[in-house]
């Protein structure tokens, strides 16, 4: 029998449980590696806080929105620490995306000015140019791996907007392959930490991919420094902010800190937006009724031109499609925390050092929070608040593709602006059709994206 679902917002009165099917030595590793999404999607049947096993190591999965809010808004008790974040910091450095609570406030204050609304207006102009250049290069009726095309679009946008630079197409494709290999490797190492020390072909590919990604970041920083005078006279960007900002004592940001922040920006600014756009296109290609409504809106507003930031208030359906896509396929789909002290969750005492995991994918697909949770229904976001029970407000439903609390993604507005303007432009100009017989499946990696997205593009 499924446990009772107590919907009190403070998370009290909830029940802990255990996922069945753990093997004596490997626990639930096979399920998480071979079919992670179906496995975690079934966990709410077993409780509000569900214990799974990675080998013999217990991991506690949050399956109730009240617990999610508590964990993500109490970063002193539930910190970004433990083995997973140690591996991430070794790979990416101690930047805003990976740093613990003790460093977070200072780093957030350092980065926040670069994401102010006045800066976003400049970034949006870069987005407009990159979207136009990319879609102008597409050809009518050609079979295309649209996922890769959208990655190249996101790369061009992020590198120009955040770094004031360009990557040649060959280098952008090299970066795509490197990030894909890294994201698969870091996911595998999170499940099998002992395997990271083995001299396997997969670990060698991971090391090469990480070196490639770091090298691209180093070149972007070096090119920016070499043209500092030109950059100062041109558009502001995140890298120019990092290189010019000063601490209260007048000292500049250390070179290693600039590199750490920039390395994370390359990943966050490219992969998450590309993944969201890819899933949106996949969903639209299988829902031609929504696609035609989207075309009518986009064509009526744009008339064939590229969308701008000023168009956003007149593109409400496009925004709802992006919101619903992020509900069904949140790019950051598995987010760990580590308890810093002994604490209680859902009636279960967790010792210090316990691993707690939040999955927006799980919360976003709860049937008691979202009617027909597996269906693509952008119309569910037409009202500011859903009807009925006041406990079903947006906050308590824990729609959180960008996280919650102090660690909420600093680039949320950047990502939503890019995704909405790109999707509107694409919808106004192109009709998407899936390749017959092609199977689109999520890749087992740290950012939720399709393995491949073969698509026919027909110019309208």
The string of DSSP letters for 330-364 reads -SS--EEEEESS-EEETTEEE-TT-EEEE-HHHHT
**Sheet-wide strand order for 78-79:** 16-18, 49-54, 57-62, 355-358, 335-339, 78-79
What average pLDDT score do residues 205-233 get?
Answer: 82
Cα distance between residue 286 and residue 365, in whole Å: 19
Cα distance between residue 213 and residue 271, in whole Å: 13
Cα distance between residue 422 and residue 37, in whole Å: 27
Cα distance between residue 278 and residue 41, in whole Å: 21
Query: Among 113-127, 269-283, 417-431, where is mean pLDDT lowest?
Result: 113-127
The pLDDT of residue 392 is 47
Query: Among 120-129, 136-145, 297-306, 389-398, where is mean pLDDT lowest?
Result: 389-398
383 or 91, greater pLDDT: 91
What average pLDDT score do residues 270-285 get?
Answer: 96
Query: Among 29-43, 221-235, 409-423, where is mean pLDDT lowest?
Result: 221-235
Cα distance between residue 20 and residue 43, in whole Å: 9
What average pLDDT score do residues 307-315 get?
Answer: 96
pLDDT at 390 over 60: no
pLDDT at 146 over 90: yes
Cα distance between residue 43 and residue 128, in whole Å: 42
The pLDDT of residue 232 is 52
pLDDT at 24 over 90: no
pLDDT at 250 over 90: no
Please, which pLDDT band fits residue 1 given cuts at 50, 70 and 90? very low
The pLDDT of residue 304 is 86
What average pLDDT score do residues 196-221 get?
Answer: 90
What average pLDDT score do residues 351-358 get?
Answer: 96
Please, which pLDDT band fits residue 236 given cuts at 50, 70 and 90? confident
Query: Among 73-87, 165-179, 222-236, 291-305, where is mean pLDDT lowest?
Result: 222-236
What average pLDDT score do residues 339-356 get?
Answer: 96
The pLDDT of residue 444 is 85
pLDDT at 457 over 80: yes
pTM for this model (two decimals): 0.92
pLDDT at 373 over 90: yes
Q: How many CA atoms lie within 13 A of 400 on its CB side?
A: 27
């Amino acid at each position: 029998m499924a446990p009772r679902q107590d919907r009190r917002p403070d998370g009290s009165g909830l029940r802990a449980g255990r996922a069945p099917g753990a093997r004596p030595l490997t626990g639930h590793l096979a399920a998480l590696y071979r079919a992670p999404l179906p496995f975690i999607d079934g966990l709410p049947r077993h409780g509000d806080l569900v214990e799974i096993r990675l080998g013999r190591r217990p991991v506690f999965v949050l399956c109730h929105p009240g617990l999610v809010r508590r964990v993500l808004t109490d970063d002193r008790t539930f910190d970004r620490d433990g083995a997973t974040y140690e591996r991430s910091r070794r790979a990416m450095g101690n930047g805003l995306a990976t740093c613990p609570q003790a460093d977070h406030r200072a780093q957030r204050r350092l980065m926040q000015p670069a994401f102010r609304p006045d800066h976003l207006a400049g970034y949006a102009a870069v987005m407009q140019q990159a979207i136009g250049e990319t879609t102008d290069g597409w050809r009518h009726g050609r079979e295309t791996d649209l996922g890769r095309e959208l990655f190249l679009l996101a790369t061009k946008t992020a590198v120009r907007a955040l770094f004031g630079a360009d990557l040649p197409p060959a280098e952008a494709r090299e970066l795509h392959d490197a990030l894909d290999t890294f994201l698969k490797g870091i996911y595998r190492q999170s499940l099998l930490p002992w395997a990271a020390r083995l001299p396997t072909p997969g670990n060698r590919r991971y090391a090469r991919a990480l070196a490639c990604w770091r090298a691209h970041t180093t070149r972007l920083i070096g090119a920016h420094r070499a043209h500092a005078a030109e950059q100062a006279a041109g558009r502001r960007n995140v890298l120019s902010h990092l290189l010019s900002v000063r601490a209260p004592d007048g000292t500049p940001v250390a070179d290693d800190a600039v590199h750490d922040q920039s390395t994370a920006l390359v990943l966050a600014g490219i992969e998450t937006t590309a993944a969201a756009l890819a899933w949106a296109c996949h969903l639209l290609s299988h829902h031609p009724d929504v696609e035609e409504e989207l075309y009518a809106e986009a064509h009526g507003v744009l008339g064939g031109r590229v969308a701008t930031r000023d168009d956003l208030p007149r593109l409400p359906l496009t925004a709802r499609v992006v919101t619903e896509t992020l509900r069904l396929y949140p790019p950051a789909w598995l987010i760990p925390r580590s308890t810093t002290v002994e604490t209680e969750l859902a009636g279960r005492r967790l010792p210090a050092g316990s691993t707690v995991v939040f999955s927006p994918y799980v919360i976003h697909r709860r049937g008691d929070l979202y009617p027909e949770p597996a269906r693509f229904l952008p119309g569910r976001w037409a009202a500011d608040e859903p009807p009925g029970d006041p406990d079903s407000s947006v906050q308590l439903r824990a729609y959180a593709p960008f996280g919650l609390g102090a660690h909420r993604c600093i680039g949320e507005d950047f990502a939503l602006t890019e995704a909405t303007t790109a999707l509107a432009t694409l919808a106004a100009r192109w009709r998407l059709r899936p390749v017959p017989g092609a199977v689109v499946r999520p890749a087992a990696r740290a950012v939720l994206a399709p393995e491949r997205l073969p698509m026919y593009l027909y110019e309208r």
